[in-house]
Chains A and B, each alone.
Chain A
Amino acid sequence: MTAVEKVLARASGRSELGAGEVVEPEPDFIMVHDGVVLAARRELDALGIDRLARPDRVMMVTDHEVIYPSARAAERGAFNRKTARDWGVRWFFDVGQGGHGHIFPMESGLLLPGMFYFDNDRHSTNAGAIGAFGFRMGSEIGRVLATGTNWVMVPKTIRLVLRGRPRPGVLGRDIGFVIARHLREGGSWGLNPDYRVIEFAGELDVYDLAQRTALCSSPTEVRAYGTFFPPSETILAHARSVAQRPFTPVFPDADARVEAQVSLDVSTLEPQVALPGGVHRAVDVSEVEGTRIDHAFIGSCGSGHYEDLQAAARLLAGRRIAPGVRLMITPGSERSTRRMLDDGLMKVFVEAGAVVLPAGCGACNDGVIGPLHSGEVSISTFAGNNHGRLGPKDAQLYLGNPATVAASAVAGCIADARRMEAAA
């Protein structure tokens, strides 16, 4: 079996399972974010469903509108708080608690290797970074809350073998953009990633949790439904050190049936920038160097770990962002915010002229906070850069790794972080 087949088999009480089978797995937990509690509550209330099957397994996170940018958001916050009480939600992370739902559970030992969980949001694919599987339910999260499960058709798996070591300065996001370029439907691998799990294989020990998370991000944007990294010794040691409950890691069988196997030599890659319109529109940073920017953002589910913030801080230490540029830093967890304070990163960011936002999705949530103006140019570590994601359709959204974004904010235009570091 593939890794995800094993995770689903365990959660479904089965010894064997294959792609295409339909199961109703019992989740280790159920995640719902602040933006969808209202719709789920209304749906269940309308049916007279006044209690959840497993409130002891429900995790409600506040990450999409952490600071209320409108009266409507404040009202929603109050509604969510009441709903968490009414439903008896075990893990309610209110404003200023937890952080980004696809980052902090991995850091704090709530999401552990081998686990299965349901989530309303598609970036549940991040779970693959720690060797777990999160299944996106969208608007069907109501059924999961009410009954404790829902039907899952076991997805097919594509094995992606990473070969070689990335050059210094080439980070997970860079490799992720290149993967998206090849993997997407119509890409050079000739695959259709729709509803597939991308199982990473090959030389993986070089990737820590932050890099693995970054690698799990971009396949999601080209419609992969899951990702999976077999946990390394380092990942397992982290999981053991923070685990809030017992866990059993899973690893794919060597003879697992996969739909396809592809490989990528990462040793020759340069830092990448994804051009506006999609994560798959990856080019070497040298092709767009010098493009003037107005806005920069570091954070999101793709680049929200502490190591991502450190990569940005290395560039920003002792430097100031360029006049006319605004830079926002959004840690993935409250834990990271505290570490930033303890380790001096907060000082680096503030002295560089950046604005530090509370942990969560930040502006990546469709620009609900911090939208752009028509014609503005942005470079960020957002999960995606579809036109209009930050408001105006004609705003230009480039993506890069956290160091590239930090270097660009300093330069006032898209810049190669390696050169800026070397010049120091």
Chain B
Amino acid sequence: MSADPANRPMTEDTPPGFEWRLRGRAWVLGHDIQHQGGVVPAWIVTGRHMDPADIIPHLFEETDPGFHERCRPGDIIVAGRSFGMGPKMNGYIGMQALGLGLVCESMPFLGYRGAIGAGLRVLTDCQGATEECATGDELEVDFASGLFINHTRGSHREYPPMAESLQAVVALGGNTGWLRQWWAARNP
């Protein structure tokens, strides 16, 4: 897949209006931010809260109080190693609903699977990403190609893109959206 902005890949399933490229501010987090506690409070996980309206007011509550009020759609969370340990997907549902993107140095596979399933624009295995930007930097990230641009620093990196077959899931808003479209296509 090319990282050339002129050759942006578009999967055939990408619905109109869906943007693979986000431009917004960086929110840089450290390493080992646990899903339960770090991303959302434990009671959100144990209570199986899956409604974005329930999750959003508590997103990163214990890591960065008030985050949900300060972030804007298009902003990008840049996390270090082992982000979101714990297989639940509540936090990713909240991030997706807020229109955020996630770039991290590593995350457990089930966390990655949960993020894709929630329809979150996510890149993992982005080595050194937390050193490529600081909180507040103006970033532009193409989640389909892996192109990572820091406009504040005038730098760019090319990270591993999201596998093409997973792009359809994300573009349709996650597992449920994908499944709805799959069924509708077979039962017009």
Q: A138-B87, A225-B109 are in contact. Are A22 and B166 (CB under 8 A)?
A: yes
Q: Tell me, in angstroms, the Cα distance from A147 to B180 when the chains sit together.
A: 11
Nearest B residue (CB) for A21? B163
Residues of B within 8 A of A143 (CB): 175, 178-179
**Are A47 and B108 neighbours in the complex by a CB distance under 8 Å?**
no
Nearest B residue (CB) for A150? B175
**Are B163 and A153 neighbours in the complex by a CB distance under 8 Å?**
yes
Binary flags per residue of A146-182, CB closer than 8 Å to B gives 1, else 0: 1100010101000000000000000000000000000
Find the residue from A22, A139, A225 having the highest chain B CB count within 10 A.
Answer: A139
Task: Tell me the minimal C-beta distance from B140 to chain A in angstroms.
Answer: 26
Nearest B residue (CB) for A46? B176
Task: Tell me the minimal C-beta distance from A25 to chain B in angstroms.
Answer: 12
Task: Tell me the minimal C-beta distance from B34 to chain A in angstroms.
Answer: 14
Residues of A within 8 A of B43 (CB): none
**Are B108 and A49 neighbours in the complex by a CB distance under 8 Å?**
no
Interface size on B, residues (CB 8 A): 19
**Is residue B53 contacting chain A, with contact meaning CB distance below 8 A?**
no
**Is residue A91 contacting chain B, with contact meaning CB distance below 8 A?**
no
**Are B183 and A48 neighbours in the complex by a CB distance under 8 Å?**
yes
Residues of A within 8 A of B179 (CB): 43, 47, 49, 142-143, 146-147
- Chain B at the A interface: SS class: helix
**Is residue A75 contacting chain B, with contact meaning CB distance below 8 A?**
no
**Are B163 and A22 neighbours in the complex by a CB distance under 8 Å?**
yes
Task: Tell me the minimal C-beta distance from A22 to chain B in angstroms.
Answer: 4
**Are B180 and A47 neighbours in the complex by a CB distance under 8 Å?**
yes
**Are A151 and B165 neighbours in the complex by a CB distance under 8 Å?**
yes
**Is residue A28 contacting chain B, with contact meaning CB distance below 8 A?**
no
**Are B182 and A151 neighbours in the complex by a CB distance under 8 Å?**
no
Q: Tell me, in angstroms, the Cα distance from A146 to B181 when the chains sit together.
A: 12
Residues of A within 8 A of B108 (CB): 194-195, 223
Binary flags per residue of B150-187, CB closer than 8 Å to A gives 1, else 0: 00000000000001111001000001101110110001
**Are B183 and A195 neighbours in the complex by a CB distance under 8 Å?**
no
**Are A49 and B183 neighbours in the complex by a CB distance under 8 Å?**
yes
Task: Tell me the minimal C-beta distance from B173 to chain A in angstroms.
Answer: 13
**Is residue A394 contacting chain B, with contact meaning CB distance below 8 A?**
no
Nearest A residue (CB) for B50? A139
Residues of A within 8 A of B166 (CB): 22, 151
Residues of B within 8 A of A307 (CB): none
Residues of B within 8 A of A146 (CB): 179, 182-183
Task: Tell me the minimal C-beta distance from A38 to chain B in angstroms.
Answer: 13
Cβ contact of A138, chosen from B110, B163, B180, cutoff 8 A: B110
**Is residue B94 contacting chain A, with contact meaning CB distance below 8 A?**
no
Nearest B residue (CB) for A147? B182
| Contact residues, B103-147 vs A (CB, 8 A) | 108-110, 113, 117
Task: Tell me the minimal C-beta distance from A148 to chain B in angstroms.
Answer: 11
| Contact residues, A193-246 vs B (CB, 8 A) | 194-195, 223, 225
Residues of B within 8 A of A259 (CB): none
Task: Tell me the minimal C-beta distance from B6 to chain A in angstroms.
Answer: 26
Binary flags per residue of B22-56, CB closer than 8 Å to A gives 1, else 0: 00000000000000000000000000000000000
Nearest B residue (CB) for A137? B113
**Is residue A140 contacting chain B, with contact meaning CB distance below 8 A?**
yes
Task: Tell me the minimal C-beta distance from A183 to chain B in angstroms.
Answer: 15
Task: Tell me the minimal C-beta distance from A222 to chain B in angstroms.
Answer: 12
**Are B165 and A47 neighbours in the complex by a CB distance under 8 Å?**
no
Q: Tell me, in angstroms, the Cα distance from A146 to B175 when the chains sit together.
A: 12
Residues of B within 8 A of A195 (CB): 108-110
**Are B182 and A194 neighbours in the complex by a CB distance under 8 Å?**
no
Find the residue from B113, B117, B164, B182 having the highest chain A CB count within 10 A.
Answer: B113
Q: Tell me, in angstroms, the Cα distance from A195 to B106 when the chains sit together.
A: 13
Q: A140-B175, A146-B182 are in contact. Are A153 and B109 (CB under 8 A)?
A: yes
**Are A24 and B165 neighbours in the complex by a CB distance under 8 Å?**
yes
Residues of A within 8 A of B187 (CB): 48
Residues of A within 8 A of B165 (CB): 22, 24, 151
Contacts A22-B164, A139-B117 aside, 4 further interface pairs with beta carbons under 8 A come to A43-B179, A49-B179, A142-B179, A151-B166
B residues with CB within 8 A of A: 87, 108-110, 113, 117, 163-166, 169, 175-176, 178-180, 182-183, 187
A residues with CB within 8 A of B: 22, 24, 43, 47-49, 138-140, 142-143, 146-147, 151, 153, 155, 194-195, 223, 225
10 cross-chain pairs, A with B, having the tightest CB-CB distances, nearest first: A195-B109, A22-B163, A22-B165, A194-B108, A49-B183, A47-B180, A151-B165, A143-B179, A47-B179, A47-B183
12 contacts between A and B (CB under 8 A): A22-B166, A43-B176, A47-B176, A140-B117, A142-B179, A146-B179, A147-B179, A151-B169, A153-B109, A195-B110, A223-B108, A225-B109
